[in-house]
């Protein structure tokens, strides 16, 4: 089954820009695949979560194509898409698996029991990990998006240079919190005054190491508690090499399998939406043409 995936939840671009480029992008995707719309068996589109204005552009385009060409349509949760990125190449994960989804909008742990059955067992209580990267990059004057720049700058810094605090949940829940760390970085920057390149590198490296430590610790604890041996790391922040290496070391040491999509499939993309939609369409799921964007659509 060949599925056309459409993903417009990303809020870095205004919905107006999505509107301008959506049809040329669909045309180019088909051209690259050497196909026409007639070869497509179904349409999958991100229904949420995300900015409603951006989501609506994708949903409207998907509905228009489905209606005009009599193609089955299915709405996909963006976060399920991120999980499906792990199925697009190499060794796909085996159910049940634990997934750490870390992006600019979300930081959560999901237990995937079987296809389409997810349980959220932990989430951030304040900022998403990617948001923390973006905010710290701004504090350091490094630009946007923060993740890739921080990762780059951190390479020449000392990850043990500054002992930033890791958040501990007083109730022991597998939840995350990054606002305390962000505040600690902000105070450190204020106290330090004018920063040298070397100081910026040390702050970036220490901040990154702290985020990685928090993410890895909670993930390992949750996997141990659930008796899980397959772990998926996905979402924009999963492009981070330090995070990939640290989680790989922890999983490998315990004989667990870690599944991480290649970097370009970790960040937002439509292939992951097509993959999730593929399984839903094959299971007989169909969305009516009255289907609409849902800004706060939950996965579990
Ligand atoms: O999944 P994604 O592309 O979009 C959302 O659904 O949010 O994630 C974007 C986030 C941004 O906050 C960006 O700074 C972060 O992922 N990111 C990274 C890296 N590449 C992207 N964070 C850390 N290290 C990276 N290499
Ligand atoms: Zn995303």
240 within ligand 1 shell (Cβ under 6 A): yes
User: Which pLDDT value is given to residue 17?
Assistant: 85
Q: Give the span between the Cα atoms of 183 and 164, in whole angstroms.
A: 10
CB 166 within 8 A of CB 179: no
49 within ligand 1 shell (Cβ under 6 A): no
CB 242 within 8 A of CB 209: yes
User: Which pLDDT value is given to residue 13?
Assistant: 63
User: Which pLDDT value is given to residue 288?
Assistant: 97
User: Which pLDDT value is given to residue 11?
Assistant: 67
146 within ligand 1 shell (Cβ under 6 A): yes
Take residue 210 and report the two structure tokens written for it: 């702290």
Take residue 231 and report the two structure tokens written for it: 């772990």
Show pLDDT as tens, one digit a residue, over the chain (300 residues).
Answer: 999 999 999 767 677 888 888 999 999 999 999 999 999 999 999 999 999 999 999 999 999 999 999 999 999 999 999 999 999 998 899 999 999 999 999 999 999 999 999 999 999 999 999 999 999 999 999 998 999 999 999 999 999 999 999 987 777 788 999 999 999 999 999 999 999 999 999 999 999 999 999 999 999 999 999 999 999 999 999 999 999 999 999 999 999 999 999 999 999 999 999 999 999 999 999 999 999 999 999 998
85 within ligand 1 shell (Cβ under 6 A): no
Q: Which helix (H) or strand (E) holds 5?
A: strand 3-6
Q: What pTM does this model have?
A: 0.95
174 within ligand 1 shell (Cβ under 6 A): no
User: Which pLDDT value is given to residue 170?
Assistant: 76
267 within ligand 1 shell (Cβ under 6 A): yes
Q: Give the span between the Cα atoms of 278 and 98, in whole angstroms.
A: 21
> How open is the CA angle 133-139-142, to the nearest 5 degrees?
70
127 within ligand 1 shell (Cβ under 6 A): no
- Give distance in angstroms: CA of 156 to centre of ligand 2: 28
Ligand 1 site-directed mutation target among 58, 103, 271, most atoms within 8 Å of CB: 103
> How open is the CA angle 258-262-266, to the nearest 5 degrees?
90
What is the β-pairing status of strands 230-234 and 97-102? parallel
48 within ligand 1 shell (Cβ under 6 A): no
CB 233 within 8 A of CB 243: yes
Which residue has a Cα nearest atom 10 of ligand 1?
A: 104
Q: Give the span between the Cα atoms of 74 and 138, in whole angstroms.
A: 38
What residues have CB less than 8 Å from 153, skipping those under 6 apart?
Answer: 140, 142, 200, 201, 204, 205
Give the ligand with the smallest distance to the CA of 76: 2
User: Which pLDDT value is given to residue 2?
Assistant: 98
User: Which pLDDT value is given to residue 167?
Assistant: 81
Q: Give the span between the Cα atoms of 88 and 275, in whole angstroms.
A: 7
User: Which pLDDT value is given to residue 168?
Assistant: 78
Backbone angles phi, psi at 217, to 5 degrees: -60, -50
Take residue 207 and report the two structure tokens written for it: 């901040």
Ligand 1 site-directed mutation target among 81, 147, 153, most atoms within 8 Å of CB: 147
- Give distance in angstroms: CA of 1 to centre of ligand 1: 30
Which residue has a Cα nearest atom 1 of ligand 1?
A: 236
| Ligand 1 atom at minimum distance from 144 CA | 14
User: Which pLDDT value is given to residue 78?
Assistant: 97
User: Which pLDDT value is given to residue 276?
Assistant: 98
Residue of 160, 204, 159 lying closest to 185 (CA atoms): 204
Sign of the torsion formed by the C-alpha atoms of 59, 30, 235 and 229:
positive
122 within ligand 1 shell (Cβ under 6 A): no
């Amino acid at each position: 089954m060949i599925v056309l995936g459409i993903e417009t939840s990303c809020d870095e671009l205004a919905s107006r820009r999505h509107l301008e480029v959506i049809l040329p992008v669909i045309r180019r995707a088909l051209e690259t695949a050497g196909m026409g719309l007639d070869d497509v068996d179904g349409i999958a589109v991100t229904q949420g979560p995300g900015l409603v204005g951006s989501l609506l552009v994708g949903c409207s385009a998907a509905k228009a194509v489905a209606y005009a060409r009599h193609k089955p349509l299915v709405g996909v949760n963006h976060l399920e898409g991120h999980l499906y990125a792990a199925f697009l190449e190499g060794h796909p994960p085996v159910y049940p698996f634990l997934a750490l989804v870390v992006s600019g909008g979300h930081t959560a742990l999901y237990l995937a029991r079987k296809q389409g059955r997810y349980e959220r067992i932990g989430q951030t209580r304040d900022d998403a990990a990617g948001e923390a990267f973006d905010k710290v990059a701004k504090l350091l004057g490094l630009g946007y998006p923060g993740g890739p720049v921080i990762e780059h700058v951190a390479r020449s810094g000392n990850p043990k240079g500054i002992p930033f605090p890791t958040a501990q949940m007083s109730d022991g829940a597998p939840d995350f919190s990054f606002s305390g760390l962000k505040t600690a970085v902000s105070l450190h920057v204020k106290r330090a005054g004018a920063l040298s390149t070397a100081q910026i590198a040390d702050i970036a490296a220490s901040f990154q190491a702290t985020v990685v430590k928090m993410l890895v610790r909670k993930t390992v604890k949750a996997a141990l508690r659930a008796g899980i041996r397959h772990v998926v790391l996905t979402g924009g922040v999963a492009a981070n090499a330090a995070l990939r290496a640290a989680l790989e070391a922890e999983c490998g040491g315990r004989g667990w399998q870690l599944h991480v999509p290649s970097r370009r499939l970790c960040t937002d993309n439509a292939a992951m939406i097509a993959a999730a939609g593929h399984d839903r369409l094959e299971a007989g799921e169909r969305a009516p043409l009255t289907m609409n964007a849902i800004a706060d659509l939950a996965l579990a």
